[in-house]
Amino acid sequence: MVHDSMILPVILSGGTGSRLWPQSRALCPKQFQPLVNQYTLFQNTIQRLDKLDNLQPPMVIANEEHRFLVAEQLRQLNCETTSIVLEPEGRNTAPAVALAAFQALADENDPLLLVLAADHVIQDEQAFHLSVRDAVSAAEKGNLVTFGITPDRAETGYGYIKVSSLSSADMSPLMAVAEFVEKPDKATAEEYVSSGGYYWNSGMFLFRASVYLEELKRFRPNIYAACEQAMAVQTSDLDFTRINKEAFLVCPAVSVDYAVMETTEKAVMVGLDAGWSDIGSWSGLADVLPKDSDNNSVDGDVISLDSQNCLLRAEKKLLACIGLENLVVVETDDAILVADKDRAQEVKPLVENLQRQKRSEAQLHRKVFRPWGFYDTVDSGDRFQVKRLTVHPGASLSQQKHFHRAEHWVVVSGTAKVTCGEKTFLVTENESTFIPIGEVHCLENPGKVPLHLIEVQSGSYLGEDDIVRFTHSCGHP
């Protein structure tokens, strides 16, 4: 069957993925990490769309704090977007999808929204494409389609969808949604799977933008009103769409399931058997990764002797393991996790403990992304800090000054255009320059290749908030 409706993929990229700490952190969570291959989960989600028909460029709903990660990872794929809408704060999936629907209608069309989480793994992409195509005709008829995952085990970490058959012949791939069920205990989960009438709730949907908003307005008018007001006042900032913060913060945090799908009479389900996982824990990641002869999932520089059923992951250092069993060992540049695989869900309260202690390791990695590139904090101590900066070709840092620190810049490769006070000059490989305390300065990459430099900060206070910015970038207000 030929379908004329355009499909707008809506990628929901919020969430902190705290159960995958220390690799996943609040400012660089799991969806922006390369966990299963050389691409990140977010990039895999974008690439998964390639062979679907009638697609518009994707729309991304992103947290304010993740905007530069989103832009950079899209740039790496040469992927154009319909828009990147920034949420001032996360409010769960129902408001996020409402923002996408209002934005789509503002563009004077009413596409089918294919709502996808940015942090899922789908191993059989052909099966995914077929399920989406099965869902299109139902969505065109005004149904709200959810995708239910065919369960292969009694999983207590997922919600379930109870289904019944539909009698209409032209909707044969679909099933009626009888009810959404909360995460069950082990015995109940076993009953669900053995009955054959339950599916895992994937949190993926296909529906027309206007139909979703009609049902949202009917069942949760407060969410509808808050999102409508938030989208009524927009500003563009680089590649991003900013919305009315005050209006959006009034919106309650509610999932699509609670807000609409559990109450609407238009809910139907398409089954999806495609090696799906939401990678909700380290043990969940181990389930989808390749195994060695001892059932270990190994990534990075790892040497293992007589270890079995482990997930062993090294990011920066050699990880040497002897005689381990059923453990998760994850090494990053500033933290190491060692946990029993069966207790992998307890990483979340561990991260909450780090947050209460105001530990930076809960929030960010050494590498921090900015619109001009990124920096990596190499070393720090009393009155000094060393960073490695990478500046994209043609990019520049804001014109700024510092009250408490001086900076030495050493160019490793590329060419830097430096403005220091009234002087502007070039600094090339193996050359350096000095920025005194209180001096207005700016850094620019005028070349065609990335600029790599070492920045040595020295002074009484080295916090990121010791910055007075004068322009967004060199010479540009």
* Helix H or strand E encompassing 330: strand 327-331
Is residue 244 domain-resident?
Answer: yes
Is residue 477 domain-resident?
Answer: no
Is residue 455 domain-resident?
Answer: yes
Return the pLDDT at 30: 94
Is residue 1 domain-resident?
Answer: no
Return the pLDDT at 172: 59
Q: Are residues 89 and 46 in the same domain?
A: yes
Q: Could you give the CA distance from residue 302 to residue 289 in angstroms, rounded to a whole number?
A: 15
Q: Write out pLDDT tens, residues 424-458.
A: 999 999 999 999 999 999 999 999 999 999 999 99
Q: How many structural domains does the chain have?
A: 3
* Residue that is last in its domain, among 330, 355, 380: 355
CATH number where 442 lies: 2.60.120.10
* Residue that is last in its domain, among 277, 309, 338: 277
Is residue 295 domain-resident?
Answer: yes
Q: Are residues 303 and 176 in the same domain?
A: no
Return the pLDDT at 166: 55
Q: Are residues 94 and 37 in the same domain?
A: yes
Return the pLDDT at 171: 46
C-beta of residue 139 within 8 angstroms of C-beta of residue 208: yes
Q: What is the residue range of 430's domain?
A: 367-469
Question: Beta-strand (E) ranges in 140-296?
Answer: 144-149, 160-165, 174-181, 198-208, 235-237, 240-242, 267-272, 276-277
CATH number where 217 lies: 3.90.550.10
Q: Are residues 39 and 136 in the same domain?
A: yes
Contacts 24+ apart (CB under 8 A), 1-4: 1/137, 3/53, 3/54, 3/133, 3/136, 3/137, 3/140, 4/54
Is residue 393 domain-resident?
Answer: yes
Q: Are residues 207 and 345 in the same domain?
A: no
Is residue 362 domain-resident?
Answer: no
- Bridging pattern class, strands 198-208 and 160-165: antiparallel
Q: Which two tokens stand for residue 102?
A: 């209002």
Side-chain-facing half-sphere of 256: CA atoms under 13 Å: 25
Q: Could you give the CA distance from residue 61 to residue 201 in angstroms, rounded to a whole number?
A: 21
Q: Are residues 87 and 170 in the same domain?
A: yes
- Contacts of 195 by beta carbon, 8 Å cutoff, 6+ apart: none
Return the pLDDT at 1: 44
Q: What does the pLDDT profile of the chain (477 residues) look like in tens digits?
A: 445 789 999 999 988 889 999 999 988 899 999 999 999 999 999 999 998 989 999 999 999 889 889 988 998 999 999 999 999 999 999 999 999 999 999 877 899 999 999 999 999 999 999 999 999 999 999 999 999 999 988 888 889 999 887 544 444 578 889 889 888 888 999 988 888 889 999 999 999 999 999 999 999 999 999 999 999 998 988 789 999 999 999 999 999 999 999 999 999 999 999 999 999 899 999 999 999 999 999 999 999 999 999 999 999 899 999 999 999 999 998 899 999 999 998 999 999 999 999 998 998 887 888 889 989 988 888 899 999 999 999 999 989 999 999 999 999 999 999 999 999 999 999 999 999 999 999 999 999 999 999 999 999 998 888 888 886 556 543
Is residue 80 domain-resident?
Answer: yes
Q: Are residues 30 and 134 in the same domain?
A: yes
Largest interatomic CA distance in the chain? 78
Q: Write out pLDDT tens, residues 208-233.
A: 999 999 999 999 999 999 999 999 99
Q: Which two tokens stand for residue 365?
A: 């990695």
Candidates 11, 17, 12, 13; CA nearest to 363 is 17
Backbone φ and ψ for 338, nearest 5 degrees, come out as -125, 120
Q: Are residues 260 and 325 in the same domain?
A: no
Candidates 109, 6, 113; CA nearest to 55 is 6
Q: Are residues 272 and 300 in the same domain?
A: no
Amino acid symbol at 24: S
> Could you give the C-alpha distances from 305 to 142, 163, 308, 320, in angstroms and in order?
58, 47, 9, 8
Contacts 24+ apart (CB under 8 A), 182-185: 183/156, 183/157, 183/158, 183/159, 184/156, 184/160, 185/156
Q: Are residues 303 and 318 in the same domain?
A: yes
* Residue that is last in its domain, among 248, 277, 306: 277
Q: Could you give the CA distance from residue 368 to residue 28 in angstroms, rounded to a whole number?
A: 8
Q: Write out pLDDT tens, residues 47-88.
A: 999 989 899 999 999 998 898 899 889 989 999 999 999 999
Q: Are residues 242 and 163 in the same domain?
A: yes
Q: Are residues 392 and 336 in the same domain?
A: no
